[in-house]
DNA sequence: AAATCGTGGCA
DNA sequence: TTGCCAAGATT
C-alpha cells in the first residue's frame, strides 16, 4: 500500500549489526555514567512508582527532597492508602500538578483493594491504575518487572528523534506509535529497565535540549542527525499557546483568630488547596471596554465580597504592595493585594472560609502562589 | 482531541 | 523579561 502521509512509513530501523553495536555502546555508556538516585537503591515497585509520578514534568533536583520526605511519611503503599488527605496534600505542597497526589492515593487503594496488595506486573495492567499513563506504565514494567517495553518521555522523544531523524511532531499524541515502533527493537531483551533509564540519563546529561554534547561520546557515530549536522533540528515540536493574562484580587482579612483562608474547589486549578480569598477581575465584570476608576473598582470588589460571600467588611483598601505575578502552564495571574477591616460586631463564625493562625498553617496545604502572597505581605 | 493542570531553572 | 523546558496524565 502507498501512503501519502510523510512520517508513518519512513525507515527508522537499524540493521541487526548496527543495532547490536548501538546497544553495546549505549549500555556501556550507562554502566559508566549512570546517576546514583534515591529511587535506584532497589527495584521495589512502590519506590519506583512514587519516583515516576513525582518526576512527571518535574526535574530530578526538585523531586529528591520531596521523595525522601514522602517515603518517610508514607513508608508503604498501605500507609499511603490509609493516609488522611490533608497530610497527603501537605506532603505534596509546592510540587505542583496536585492531581498527581490524589491519583497516587487512588492507585494505592486500587493496589491494596483490587490487587490484594500485589502490584500488577505488565504495562497494560499498570496503566489501569490512577495516574499511570503509557510512559509511567512502561517505566515501572521495565524497571521493576523486566518487561521489554519502551518508556517514552521527553528524553526518549529527544534522544530517538535525533538518533533516527524522526521528524514526526512529538506534540501530536497520534505520533507516539512511530516512536514506540522505532524504539522497541532497540531494547536489549536482558536489560529493558536499564535501557529505559539509560535513555533518561543520556537525554538529561548528554543529548540535552540546549548545548547537547553527543559528539563527545562514543554514541556519536549512531546519531544520524549528528552525522549530517542537523542534531538541533530535532525533535520537531509545535509550539504551545502563550499564558493567558488574568487580573486577580486577593483580600487579606485579619481577626483575633488569624487570617481568613478559603479552600479551593475539589476540581480544577489548585484543587483543595487554601489561599486568601481570591476574585478574578473578570468576575467583577471589569472588561476592557468598561473603564472604571480605581475607586469604582474597589467598590465593585467590596460589593462582590459582601454579596457573594456575605462578609461584614468595612473599609476595603489597597495594600499599596506591588502586585504578585504567578505563572501557571496556561495562565498568568497578576494579583493585587487588598486589605479589609472587619466590622466591629463582625461574627467570625459566619465568614465563608477558615481563620488560621500562623501556627495552624503548618498543617494546611498551600500552593506556591499563596506563599508568594504571604511573603509579599511580610515585606511590610 | 485540544485544553487543562504547577513550579523552578535557565539563556 | 520572556519563552522554553523538565521522567505526562486526564478529560
**Residue nearest C11 (alpha carbon to C1'):** A268
pLDDT tens readout for residues A293-313: 777 878 888 888 777 666 666
Which pLDDT score is estimated for A285? 67
- Report which DSSP code applies to A348: G
pLDDT of residue A88: 98
Q: Which domains does chain A have, with CATH numbers?
A: 16-233 (1.10.340.30), 244-378 (3.90.79.10)
Q: What's the Å distance between residue A277 CA and nucleotide B3 C1'?
A: 26
Tell me which of A60-74, A77-91, A239-253 is least confident: A239-253
Q: Which of residues 15-54 of A touch strand C (CB under 7 A)?
A: 35, 37, 39, 51-52
As a rounded value in angstroms, the CA-to-C1' distance for A159 and B7 is 25
DSSP per residue, A148-165: -----SHHHHHHHHHHHT
Q: DSSP string of A13-57? A: ---HHHHHHHHHHHHHHHHHH----GGGS---HHHHHHHHHHTTT
Reply yes or no on whether A52 is catalytic. Answer: yes
pLDDT digits (tens, 9 = 90+) for A124-141: 999 999 999 999 999 999
Three-state DSSP state, A342: strand
Structure confidence at residue A7 (pLDDT)? 44
Give the Cα separation of A334 and A195 in Å (integer).
44
pLDDT, one tens digit per residue, over A4-28 is 344 456 789 999 999 999 999 999 9
Take residue A11 and report the three cell numbers written for it: 525507515
Q: Are A166 and A118 in contact (CB under 8 A)?
A: no
List C-alpha distances in Å: A25 to A80, A108, A248, A357.
40, 38, 54, 59
Residue A289, pLDDT > 80, answer no
Instruction: Check residues 1 to 60 of chain A and report those whose beta carbon is under 7 Å from nucleic acid strand B.
Output: 57-59
- pLDDT of A340 > 90? The answer is no
In strand B, the nucleotides that come within 7 Å of a protein beta carbon are 1-9, 11
Of residues A189 and A340, more confidently modeled: A189
**Bridge-partner residues for A254, per DSSP?**
A259
Please identify residues in chain A, positions 162-181, with a C-beta within 7 angstroms of any atom of strand B: 172-174
Strand C positions within 7 A of protein Cβ atoms? 3-10
Q: Specify the pLDDT at position A187.
A: 98
Residue A54: is it exposed, middle or buried by C-beta count within 10 angstroms (0-12/13-18/19+)? buried
Q: Which residue among A18, A32, A44, A52 is the active-site one?
A: A52
The pLDDT, as a whole number, for residue A150 is 97
DSSP, res A218:
T
Question: What integer pLDDT is reported at residue A379 of this predicted model?
Answer: 79
Amino acid at each position: 500500500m502507498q501512503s501519502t502521509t510523510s512520517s508513518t512509513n519512513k525507515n527508522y530501523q537499524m540493521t541487526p549489526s548496527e543495532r547490536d553495536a548501538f546497544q553495546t555502546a549505549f549500555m556501556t555508556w550507562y554502566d559508566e555514567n549512570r546517576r546514583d538516585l534515591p529511587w535506584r537503591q532497589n527495584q521495589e515497585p512502590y519506590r519506583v512508582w512514587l519516583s515516576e509520578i513525582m518526576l512527571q514534568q518535574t526535574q530530578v533536583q526538585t523531586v529528591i527532597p520531596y521523595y525522601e520526605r514522602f517515603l518517610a511519611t508514607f513508608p508503604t503503599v498501605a500507609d499511603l492508602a490509609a493516609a488522611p488527605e490533608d497530610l497527603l496534600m501537605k506532603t505534596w505542597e509546592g510540587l505542583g500538578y496536585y492531581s498527581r497526589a490524589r491519583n497516587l492515593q487512588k492507585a494505592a487503594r486500587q493496589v491494596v483493594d483490587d490487587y490484594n496488595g500485589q502490584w500488577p506486573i505488565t504495562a497494560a495492567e499498570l496503566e489501569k491504575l490512577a495516574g499511570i499513563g503509557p510512559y509511567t506504565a512502561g517505566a515501572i514494567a521495565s524497571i521493576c518487572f523486566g518487561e521489554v517495553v519502551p518508556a517514552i518521555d521527553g528524553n526518549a522523544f529527544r534522544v530517538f528523534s535525533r538518533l533516527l531523524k524522526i521528524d514526526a511532531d512529538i506534540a501530536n499524541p497520534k505520533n507516539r506509535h512511530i516512536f514506540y515502533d522505532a524504539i522497541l527493537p532497540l531494547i536489549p531483551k536482558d536489560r529493558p529497565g536499564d535501557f529505559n533509564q539509560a535513555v533518561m540519563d543520556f537525554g538529561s546529561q548528554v543529548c540535552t535540549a540546549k548545548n547537547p554534547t553527543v559528539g563527545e561520546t562514543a554514541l556519536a557515530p549512531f546519531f544520524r542527525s549528528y552525522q549530517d549536522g542537523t542534531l538541533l533540528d530535532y525533535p520537531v515540536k509545535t509550539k504551545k499557546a502563550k499564558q493567558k493574562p488574568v487580573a486577580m484580587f486577593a483580600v487579606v482579612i485579619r481577626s483575633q483568630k488569624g487570617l481568613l483562608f478559603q479552600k479551593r474547589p475539589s476540581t480544577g486549578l489548585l484543587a483543595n488547596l487554601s489561599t486568601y480569598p481570591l476574585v478574578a477581575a473578570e468576575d467583577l465584570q471589569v472588561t476592557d471596554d468598561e473603564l472604571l476608576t480605581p475607586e469604582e473598582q474597589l467598590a465593585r470588589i467590596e460589593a462582590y465580597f459582601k454579596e457573594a460571600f456575605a462578609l461584614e467588611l468595612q473599609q476595603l483598601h489597597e495594600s499599596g504592595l506591588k502586585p504578585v505575578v504567578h505563572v501557571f502552564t496556561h495562565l498568568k495571574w497578576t494579583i493585587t493585594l487588598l486589605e479589609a477591616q472587619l466590622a466591629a460586631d463582625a461574627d467570625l463564625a459566619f465568614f465563608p472560609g477558615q481563620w488560621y493562625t500562623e501556627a495552624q498553617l503548618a498543617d494546611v496545604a498551600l500552593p506556591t502562589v499563596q506563599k508568594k502572597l504571604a511573603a509579599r505581605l511580610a515585606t511590610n
